[in-house]
Amino acid sequence: MHLFLFFHKCIICFIVKINLKHSLLFIIFCLYITSCSQEKPRYEQILGTICTVNLFEDGRDKIYDEIFVRLREIEREFSIDKKNSDMYRVNSRAYVEPVTVGQDVFSLMETSLLLSDITEGAFDVSVEPLVYLWNINSASPHVASQEELDEILPLVNYKNIVTNPGNRSIHFLKEGMGLDFGAIAKGFAADEVVKICEKHEVRRAIIDLGGNVYVYGQKANKKDWNVGIKNPEYPDSAPLVRVTLPQNSIVTSGVYERFFSVGQEKYHHIFSPFTGRPVDNELLSVTVICENSMLADGLSTAFFVLGEKKSRELIPKFSSIFNMQISAVFIKKNHEISFSRLFPYVRSILYDDWRVKEVYE
């Protein structure tokens, strides 16, 4: 879930376009003007990624310290490897008996079940057995056989998770089930950073948790932020789409983020809870924009699984349920880019060989 940020006056970008056979190579030289901020951004390796926070002129050590203490706390709570973490205890014991967890994990569990219900299982945090089977995030990924998937898939069903708000407990109805919050936890963490910014009356900030981006407040010139959405075919080059927008979270799920190849076949990390395999549809990436980063994070995965048509049908429903503007950008294999209905932000396409498909339903 990686995006580029354009900072007017803060960064001057010179883009050199070079034709190289059938591809485009963009070389970007970014010159940072130090007058934009009195303090440098802070970054740390947390949540399995590089987390970067820029508080600009409000960037005091005290606030940065509070933010990164909170991020490390969230990492401990959601770690599936640390034996004293809530997630480890749930995945180890929740079939044997209900496991009581902290407020963070329980809140995220409740939100995840709501998303699962509305998306009819396209978003499902019980995919941990699939994640473990494919092992994509390791040095030894595995192509799952149909026999293996037939054995694992009955364990992937959010309806077999029972929660009890009275004691904040989680219980599995089938042995071998497990939770994986990888599709929503960074969004939750970004929202927690926003709460700290609000508490300290930070005027502007850019929060980037491994590509889960939150642009907070207003730029110094009072203009909206410019955010770039990566080109899935060349993710390390210049962005494909630029969106100009006020305070919002912008989260992308795409085939280029984590994957491995065997011969000519490419296997990415976004699994269908229905087939157990990496999703194979018309999409290369889906970007979701809304004020709640946790929601944007979960929906970007759900929309990728559902495909463009079904996702469009659900967006008004989600906007109504959560009482907020939710918008989406769909980047497709046929070099078409489409935007959700009544897309409220100024957008620009930065590659000539991609086209916008307007959809009015």
Each residue's pLDDT tens digit, 226-239? 999 999 999 989 99
pLDDT-based confidence at 268, cuts 50/70/90?
confident
Q: What is the pLDDT of residue 156?
A: 97
Out of 22-26, 161-165, 195-199, 220-224, which region has the weakest mean confidence (pLDDT)? 22-26
Sign of CA dihedral 105, 107, 109, 111: negative
Is 3-74+183-356 a domain of CATH 2.60.40.10? no
CA 360 to chain centre: 26
Global pTM exceeds 0.85: yes
305 sits in which H/E element = helix 293-306
Out of 15-29, 85-99, 124-138, 311-325, which region has the weakest mean confidence (pLDDT)? 15-29
Average pLDDT over residues 183-209: 97
Average pLDDT over residues 101-122: 95
Strand 336-339: give its sheet, edge to edge: 42-46, 49-54, 204-209, 212-217, 248-254, 283-290, 327-332, 336-339, 355-356
In the numeric block, which tokens belong to residue 149?
């998937």
Closest CA to 311 of 320, 319, 322, 302: 302
Determine the Cα angle at 106 with ends 151 and 248, to 5°.
100
pLDDT over threshold 80, residue 304: yes
| Identity of the residue numbered 303 | F
Q: What is the pLDDT of residue 361?
A: 60
The 3-state DSSP class for residue 288 equals strand
Q: What is the pLDDT of residue 93?
A: 96
Average pLDDT over residues 242-268: 85
pLDDT tens digits along 70-89: 999 999 999 888 888 999 99
Q: What is the pLDDT of residue 30?
A: 33
What is the rounded distance in angstroms from the CA atom of residue 104 to the CA atom of residue 185? 10
pLDDT over threshold 90, residue 262: no
Give the CA count within 13 Å in the CB-facing half-sphere of 350. 23
| Identity of the residue numbered 98 | P
Percentage, residues of the chain above pLDDT 90: 76
What's the Cα-to-Cα distance from 122 to each of 180, 214, 279, 306, rounded to whole Å? 14, 24, 11, 6
Contacts 24+ apart (CB under 8 A), 269-274: 269/134, 269/136, 269/137, 270/301, 270/304, 270/305, 271/127, 271/130, 271/131, 271/134, 272/305, 273/121, 273/122, 273/124, 273/126, 273/127, 273/130, 273/156, 273/157, 273/305, 274/121
Give the CA count within 13 Å in the CB-facing half-sphere of 11. 14
Q: What is the pLDDT of residue 40?
A: 84
Strand 3-6: give its sheet, edge to edge: 3-6, 225-229, 241-245, 346-349
Average pLDDT over residues 281-309: 96
> Cβ distance 10 to 221 under 8 Å?
no
Q: What is the pLDDT of residue 192?
A: 98
pLDDT tens digits along 163-178: 999 999 999 999 999 9
User: What are the backbone dihedrals phi and psi of residue 32, each rounded to the nearest 5 degrees, phi first?
Assistant: -85, 130
Q: What is the mean pLDDT of the chain?
A: 88
Q: What is the pLDDT of residue 39?
A: 63
Between residues 130 and 22, the one the model is more confident about: 130
Each domain of the chain, given as residue ranges in start order, spans 3-74+183-356, 79-172
Q: What is the pLDDT of residue 31?
A: 28
Contacts of 85 (CB under 8 A, 6+ apart): 76, 77, 78, 79
CATH class for the domain made up of 79-172: mainly alpha
Closest CA to 213 of 144, 287, 138: 287
Closest CA to 329 of 205, 222, 245: 245
Sign of CA dihedral 209, 214, 220, 225: positive
In the numeric block, which tokens belong to residue 75?
């990492």
227 sits in which H/E element = strand 225-229
In the numeric block, which tokens belong to residue 213?
């981006």
Between residues 32 and 150, the one the model is more confident about: 150
pLDDT over threshold 60, residue 58: yes
Q: What is the pLDDT of residue 17?
A: 35
